[in-house]
Structures are given as C-alpha cells and as structure tokens.
Structure 1
Amino acid sequence: MAFANSVLPKGGGKSPSPGRLASVYSEVQTNRLHHPLPLPSVLKGPFKLLDGPPSSAAGNPDEIAKLFPNMFGQPSAKLVPTGSVPADLPEGLKIGVVLSGGQAPGGHNVISGIFDYLQERAKRSTLYGFKGGPAGIMKCKYVDLTPEFIYPYRNQGGFDMICSGRDKIETPEQFKQAEETAMKLDLDGLLVIGGDDSNTNACLLAENFRQKNMKTRVIGCPKTIDGDLKCKEVPASFGFDTACKIYSEMIGNVMTDARSTGKYYHFVRLMGRAASHITLECALQTHPNIAIIGEEPIGKWAKVNQMDQADMRHIILYGSCTIQCGPCTCLGPFSIGLLLGLLPRIGLVAAKKQTLKNVTDYITDIICKRAKLGYNYGVILIPEGLIDFIPEVQQLIAELNEILAHDVVDKEGLWKNKLQQQSQLLFEFLPQAIQEQLLLERDPHGNVQVAKIETEKMLISMVETELEKRKSEGTYAGHFKGQSHFFGYEGRCGLPTNFDAAYCYALGYAAGALLHSGKTGLISSVGNLDAPVDEWTVGGTALTSLMDVERRHGKFKPVIKKAMVELEGAPFRKFASMRDEWALKNRYISPGPIQFIGPGSNNVNHTLLLELGAQA
C-alpha cells in the first residue's frame, strides 16, 4: 500500500514550529504523528478531470442564478486515472488556506493534504495559512506554511496551526480587502475549510474574483461536527465521526454510573446546532433509554388506520405546521385528497404542534413505566437545537427580543403584560433559572442566546414538577433525581479517528488537485466512503448546487441548505425500530475510547453506513 506522508522533516519528535513542540507530546500523540495516511488510488498516479452535466440548485434556481451569474450551472467534476500527467498543469502555484468557524477534528490533515499535493504535484509552490479565519484574509495576516511548521500538527486535533474565526466577508469593503490580499500575494487559489455559512462565503468569493477577472480560484471543504453539511455528492462533513465517538464514550460512562448507583436520571444535552444528527448517532452507538430527535414532532401520535374523523379535523386545523418530513415542511392549506395521499407514506402523524409539555410528558411517561419495573435511573439524550423545533418557545423568544429592545425588566413584572397570552403562560410555566437565562443571556444585538439555554436543566425541573403531580395523584411511586450534562466542546478538538484522519487528508489532497486543474466554486468531495480508502472516489461538487435563498432584510440571501435528520432516512428508521425496547430495558452499550489500532479502529459511524446503504 502506498502512503501519502512524504513530506516529513528528519530529526524524530523535535519540531522547529513556533506553535507546537512535538517533543512534549504524549506517547499516543507521537504515535499518531507518525501514522501513515493511505490515499484513494485515483490520487496516487496521473489523473484527469471529467465534468458532469450542468448543475442546478437545491432550491430557487432562478434566484441563485441571479446571485451567481458566473458560478451557477457549472458542472461537478470527477477525478479519473489517466496514463500520463497532463502537460499543461502549471508549477510554482501560490495557494492560500483558511479555517473558518468552529473547530472539528481533522482540520490539520486537510491542510497537510493540500500541502503534500503541492509539494508532490506542483513543484516550487507556496502555501499561505491565513491566521484567525477570514479576518486573516481581510487583514492580510498569514504564515508561510513549510514542512517543519506543519509537521507537529499531522493527525492531531485542533485548529491551532493557523487558528479559526467566525468573521464573514460580505460587505463591498470586505470583498475589496480580500481582493487586495489576493493580488498582494499573487494567489492562484484559496481553500476555505468550513461549514455551510463558510462555504456559502467561499462561493461568493469565487463569484467576486471571477467577476473581477482575477486569477484566484476558490475551493471549499466540508467541515462541521454537526453533520448538517452533506448531500448525495458530499456524503459527510469531517469531524462528525470523531466528535460522536468522543461523546459516545462519555455517554457510555454515564450509563455505567447510572446502572451502578441506581438512583440518577442523567439528562445529556449534545452539541449540534439545529440538527439532531449527533444525538441520533450517539443514540445508535450507546442505546439510551430516551433520545429526543428535534425534527420529530412529539404529540398526539396515531396510527394511520386508527385515526378517526376528529383526529383528521385536528390535523387539518393545524395545516402547515403539522406534517414534517426531515428538513422539508408541507406548506399551505391541505386538501383532503393531498392529506390522504401523504398519510400512507408517512405512517405516523403528529396531530399537535411540538410543545414543551409534549416533550415533558413523553419523558415522564417513560420514567413512570421504568419505576414500575424497579428502575429509578436512566439516560436521556437531548439535542442542542431542540428549542428550534418548538414553535411556542420560538414565539416567546421573538416577543422577548422585541420587548427587551425597548423596555427594561421591572421588578413588578409589568413588562410581561406586553407578551401575548400564550407566551405569558409559557414564560410562567418555565423554571425560574430558565426565565433568568431568557432575560439576562443576551448577545451583542440584544437577542436571546438560544444556544446558552440549558435545556437539560429546564427539562429536569419540568419533569420533576410533573412527577410530583403524578405522585400526589397516586400514579407514580418511584424516586427521581436528575443530573445534567452538556457534551460539546470536548468533542471538537480530539485526536481524529482513523476515518476522519484519512478522509480529511483526501479532502485536502483533492482540493489541491481541483485548484491545480483550474477549478473554482466547487467543494472538495470524496465518496464511496463505506469502501476501503483505496476505492474512495474523488471530485468536486458545484457549491451553487447546494444552495437555496432566504429573504433577510428585504433581500434574497444565498444559503447552503442545512441537512436535517430525515424521518424517512435509514438512520432514524433504525433508531425508531429499537427505541421502545431501549426505553424499558437497559440495553446500554459502552463504546469505550476511540481506538487507533486493533478491533474497532477502522469502524465508521452508523449514520454514514446506513445512509450509504451498508450494514451498520
């Protein structure tokens, strides 16, 4: 097997890099530092690019075409082996690379991959690392990446090689700053490593540079632990595999603790933004008693063949807010014919909007059933973005943002009178600690910081209240003690799994190939990921093909559509088929720490395997 680690300095563990000292690495870090990375076979020898058919957009193609007149419609590209190296490929390229957004395990290997490509395939090339994210581009702050500088970061976690940032290049002045940097450094290309927003920005840069007849090409790379940047051509975002395995180890430990003490319910909130991919994957890896999937409405569930006319009228009453299939919602008024046509395909229908009481009752019902079996303990997984799927909470937050922008919270609570009745009732229903978070935790724009709302503590308090009510009614005789956890930052910078290490290296190497071949406005894509690395496919997907538009401040803004959990998808269906058993029987799995050698070291996450049709 050929390995792609040809650019390493001599001298063992010592490194002249000003950032990290490999000489102080742990034994595991040092072992990972020298871990060889296999490349897909197409990247081992001469290749050529084959263009596919013209692309469209994920939604509103006419609007996307207006926003990206130069990028829209361009084909995706696929690398295929060829007999000889094309004679027209240039050497001495000048390429920039930037890390954008939150950290994800494997980012350093993307940089290592493009660096090695340039060293091996485009001699005398230079790779600049822009420091601190997109701000580094605008301020022209960069470091010249050399073999010695990169060496201690290979196969290591974190983004500290050049650091990341959340700035956006979006105003005319900022685009001008980016142009000036590109011209000053004579850049042939730029690699943007980031999530959905960052890759939207990458496409805007590609469009701007092309419009200005600049030679600088832009390629994106799919990064996010949240798992919400993916499509058929881009089957996974890097970092998801590692983060989920880190969280699953901790969940497994908590499960063993719960079983050992027999007296705690552990409420575990998991990072992941709006999508519940991390929660779903961790559930598949560990088998908790309860896992809430935000995309799935919890309401008055009814089998299609058991629905009566009252249920049907109830569904029609709620119209556009009722039937949700993954990221898409059926909007507009329903006809009976359309409704009946949809029901057999969906199987289950939420006849009520998602509410906090629905979620509380769902959890409480299972706790009561477990108590009758003698289990006064358990583990409950909660997605970070749960609140995004509860309309009543979203309405309350919107009203609070508006009121607190103009009013001061008075001790008498007179400000509450400006809330609508439903929002006022909900606010009073919430635990005091959550009320204070809603009022005090504001961002610089004065808005509620939804990500900082401790949903796990809120649910513990609400479940506790409901259990006390049921105990007084004689329907619950158990004991309840809640423990809260938030697993988030722990998973963003761990040592990447063998999968993420190889995947990221291939993404970076592929990005180098795309830039070298003159491509722009594509996102590096590596496929066939359920096969051995040697059989992975490599190419680039048009960024505009992933886009839709949202109307903000009276204007259409391009956005890469977030991939939410699909309720008809294989991962969710597998979870749904097993959760009833997990709820009442303790089928806990403790995956243990990430393995780099031996059994399980090359296992890929359940979500990816199930989505690709493999056996997970």
Structure 2
Amino acid sequence: MIADEIAKLFPGLYGQPSVSVVPDPSAASSGQKLKIGVVLSGGQAPGGHNVISGLFDYLQERAKGSTFYGFKVGPAGIMKFKYVELNAEYIHPYRNQILGGFDMICSGRDKIETPEQFKQAEETTNKLDLDGLVVIGGDDSNTNACLLAENFRSKNLKTRVIGCPKTIDGDLKCKEVPTSFGFDTACKIYSEMIGNVMIDARSTGKYYHCNCTTYGSCYITLECALQTHPNITIIGGVAKIEPEKMLIQMVETELEKRKQAGSYKGQFMGQSHFFGYEGRCGLPTNFDATYCYALGYGAGVLLNSGKTGLISSVGNLAAPVEEWTVGGTALTALMDVERRHGKFKHVIKKAMVELEGAPFKKFASLREEWALKNRYISPGPIQFSGPGSDALSHTLLLELGVSPLTGLPFILQLSIHVWSSFLILKPMSPS
C-alpha cells in the first residue's frame, strides 16, 4: 500500500489533519517574536513577491519585532548560508511595482536531498535560530518542504516548515488546494498572445501552430483553449519533442504528396509559436495578487500556531475575497509514488487533466463546433480595473462547480481555428 510506504517515510508528519484558520479581527499581536525564513524554489510564477509581502505583513501585524530572512537563489541559499534580511525598506520597491518575477531574492532549482545537504540545512537554521521556513514552490519543491519538515522534527529542531503552492502549470492542486498561483496570470497572458495571432491568421490567411504546453500536464493548454476557442486542441503533449514543429513538418510532407499527385496547387506557410517564458513573470492578475497575499499571510498564521509539514491553502475562491477561507493541508496527503530515472520515489503527485472532469467535458462539448466554424475569441490584455478584471479562470470555475461567462461585452469575438498542446490557427474564407 502506498499509504503505508508514505507513513514509514514520514512517521513524524503522517496522519496529521488539515487545519482551518478562524478570523479574529480583534486579536492583538501574539507578542511572540519569530525568526522566519522564506525561499523561492523552481521556475518563476507571477505572484511570488505577493506571497512574501503577505508573510511579512503578518509578522509586522501579529508578531511584532520578528526577523524575516530571504534565502538567495533558491534552496542553494539555505545550503550555502546565503541570505538577506527582508525589512520594509527592502520589500517596498516590489509592492505593486515589479511583482511579476522572483527577483527580490531570486529562485533556483537545487534540491535538498542528500544527508550532507540536510546537514547543511540544519546548520543554517540553527545559526539563524529559525522558528520557521516557508518554501514557495511547485510539486517537487513542496516534496522537499515535506522532507525538511520531517527531518527537522525527527531531530527535535524547532524550525517548522510550511509550503505555498506555486506553478504556472496548474498541476499542484487538490480539493483543499484548488489552484496553484501564477496559473491564472500565465493563461491570460498566453491567451492574449494567441488571440493576437488569431487575428493575424484571419487577416493574412496563414496557419499557426501555438505550443503552450509545459511538462505535459496540459492545464494551460486546456484553459487557453477555453479562453480563445481554437479550431483544434491537442491535450497530452510530449515534453521531449516540439509538437508544433512536428505537425508543420507532417502537413508539409502530406501537401508535397498531393502536389506530386496533382491534387494540390496551393502554398502552405506554417508558422509556429512557443508560449512559455513570456507568462512566467508577468504582472499578476488581481486574482493572483490577492490569492498570493492570502497564501503568505496564511503561512505566517500556521507557523505562529506551531504547525509544520502543511501547505498553505485558500478556499471558497468563487466567492468574494471577504468570504475566502484560509488553512493548511497536510503535505503527506498529497504524496504518491512515481518511477523516476528507473527508481521509485515519493513525491507530491502532479494533477493531470481529467477526461471526466468538468473543464475537459466543457471543452469536449464545444470542440466540434470550433473545428467547423470560426468561433475565435481574442481576450485582449489583462485588465486590472473595470469589467472582467476580477474574472477567474474557466478551469477553476468549472472545477468549483460554477459556470463561467461565455464572454464579456468588451471581448472582441472573431472566427478562427487553433490547436492546443500547441494551438493551431486556421484561417477561413472571408465569407
């Protein structure tokens, strides 16, 4: 049983329940001065600085006199004892200014896995006398957070570890963690670019293949399809190949055969676009900015309450912000066993697009019409005020059981065809 294996690997954490935070506006500062560290781990995602700002504000409001450290360049900063003290003056330039990236303290893809690396992490937390550490990252980074929490607890160290769900891929989620931050912003950035290319395809009669898949989870592909209505959407890309270029080559090969047979006399000009890095550091949407701030603030509450081995979670997201719920979900509850590099490894399971899930079913109900008719939508740039500025992603709304609007009055609606996993734009005749 996988559960038994996870219980053996995490004896100090396994079985602990999820927790909810009960609001108490009248509560004064705890009077406890904390020493908290934060680390950005993995690829960038819009909103990371908002998480840090939320955590900092919690310490300022509820644990006055606390010390806040930021480890530089990801987990390597923990192992190499490279950090900076985060104070109001240091954080201020990143508030609502250049919040899109991770440049406040920078990120890295190092992992704390070997006994020597765990020893280095222990030495750093002891030197700084840390009460808590917040790991902002994706599934692998939060797996690392769980391992750190277990290691610290087994050594009777006082440092507690809390994770925050970060990834534009949208594949770190469960019932208690409805979405990862950055997904909303990235999808809206990609959808704007896809919409722009759609207009170009319509105007010039070109075909476009747009690859917007990362790591194979395809949530970005599905969400962008729901936002832009491409002709063809392919869910389930392979990370080792460039599918948009492969498809162009396949089309060219087929058309050449038809030319030789005399059944085709036209000209094919395939254009490919890969949308990846463009969405990682954009200015976060209103949703991501608020969601991230709540995640950071919630992480502070969990640490100050003595919790460890949890991931900060914010729920009831379809309701007004004032009605959102905050809590913590056990990281061990997200664990699974995967085969990597020929070995079985305990990791947080990636969430994949479910063919029986509401988002895919919605897409499946529309794809035939999109394939045969031009139903393109060009969403335009992200809005920060006015109608639509607080709109949630189609994927999140459908998974929460809420029907998203089919379109907003100001959205320009066009006709076009697209593929997704990469998106293909197929121009139709002006008639």
Q: Give the alignment's TM-score, normalised by structure 2.
A: 0.90
Letter in 1 for 2:145: A
Preserved contact between residue 31 and residue 62 of structure 2 (Cα < 8 Å): no
Q: How far apart, in 2, do the equivalents of 1:138 and 1:199 lie?
A: 17
Partner residue in 2 for 1:243: 186
Partner residue in 2 for 1:561: 349
Q: How far apart, in 1, do the equivalents of 2:140 and 2:75 lie?
A: 12
Preserved contact between residue 188 and residue 217 of structure 1 (Cα < 8 Å): yes
Partner residue in 2 for 1:571: 359
Q: How far apart, in 1, do the equivalents of 2:55 and 2:130 lie?
A: 15
Partner residue in 2 for 1:613: 401
Equivalent residue for 1:542, pick from 330, 336, 340? 330
Partner residue in 2 for 1:120: 61
Q: Residue 120 of structure 1: CA displacement?
A: 0.1
Equivalent residue for 1:165, pick from 108, 116, 119? 108
Tell me the secondary structure at the aligned position of residue 208 of structure 1. Answer: helix
Letter in 2 for 1:211: S
Q: Residue 469 of structure 1: CA displacement?
A: 2.5
Equivalent residue for 2:247, pick from 456, 459, 478? 459
Preserved contact between residue 267 and residue 483 of structure 1 (Cα < 8 Å): yes
Aligned length: 402
Q: Considering only CA atoms, is the larger Rg found in Structure 1 or Structure 2?
A: 1
Q: How far apart, in 2, do the equivalents of 1:269 and 1:196 lie?
A: 23
Counterparts of 1:70-89 in structure 2, within 5 Å, are: 70-82=12-24, 85=27, 89=30
Partner residue in 1 for 2:423: none
Equivalent residue for 2:39, pick from 98, 105, 117? 98
Counterparts of 1:490-509 in structure 2, within 5 Å, are: 490-509=278-297
Quick one: percent identity of the two aligned structures?
80
Partner residue in 1 for 2:376: 588
Correspondence 1:234 to 2:234: no
**Structure with the largest fraction of helix:** 1
Q: How far apart, in 2, do the equivalents of 1:566 and 1:475 lie?
A: 41
Equivalent residue for 1:196, pick from 97, 115, 139? 139
Q: How far apart, in 2, do the equivalents of 1:271 and 1:124 lie?
A: 45
Preserved contact between residue 28 and residue 62 of structure 2 (Cα < 8 Å): no
Letter in 1 for 2:308: T
Q: How far apart, in 1, do the equivalents of 2:137 and 2:294 lie?
A: 16
Tell me the secondary structure at the aligned position of residue 213 of structure 1. Answer: coil
Segments of structure 1 that go 5 or more residues without pairing to the other structure are 1-58, 295-385, 389-449
Q: Residue 90 of structure 1: CA displacement?
A: 5.2
Deviations, residues 480-525 of structure 1 (Å, cap 9, x unaligned):
2200111110000000000000000000000000000000000000
Counterparts of 1:351-500 in structure 2, within 5 Å, are: 386-387=237-238, 450=240, 453-473=241-261, 479-500=267-288
Deviations, residues 67-104 of structure 1 (Å, cap 9, x unaligned):
101011110001123586499x4511000000000000
Partner residue in 2 for 1:291: 233
Equivalent residue for 2:5, pick from 56, 63, 69? 63
Letter in 1 for 2:383: Q
Equivalent residue for 1:531, pick from 319, 322, 333? 319
Preserved contact between residue 191 and residue 224 of structure 2 (Cα < 8 Å): yes
**Per the alignment, do residues 608 and 477 of structure 1 end up closer, same or farther by CA in structure 2, a change over 3 Å counting?**
farther
Q: How far apart, in 1, do the equivalents of 2:264 and 2:330 lie?
A: 56
Q: Residue 259 of structure 1: CA displacement?
A: 0.3
Correspondence 1:219 to 2:162: yes
Correspondence 1:154 to 2:5: no
Q: How far apart, in 2, do the equivalents of 1:474 and 1:555 lie?
A: 53
Preserved contact between residue 211 and residue 273 of structure 2 (Cα < 8 Å): yes
Deviations, residues 344-374 of structure 1 (Å, cap 9, x unaligned):
xxxxxxxxxxxxxxxxxxxxxxxxxxxxxxx
Preserved contact between residue 90 and residue 516 of structure 1 (Cα < 8 Å): no
Equivalent residue for 1:183, pick from 119, 122, 126? 126
Q: How far apart, in 1, do the equivalents of 2:13 and 2:376 lie?
A: 49
Q: Residue 454 of structure 1: CA displacement?
A: 2.8
Q: How far apart, in 2, do the equivalents of 1:507 and 1:132 lie?
A: 21
Equivalent residue for 2:80, pick from 128, 133, 139? 139
Preserved contact between residue 196 and residue 561 of structure 1 (Cα < 8 Å): yes
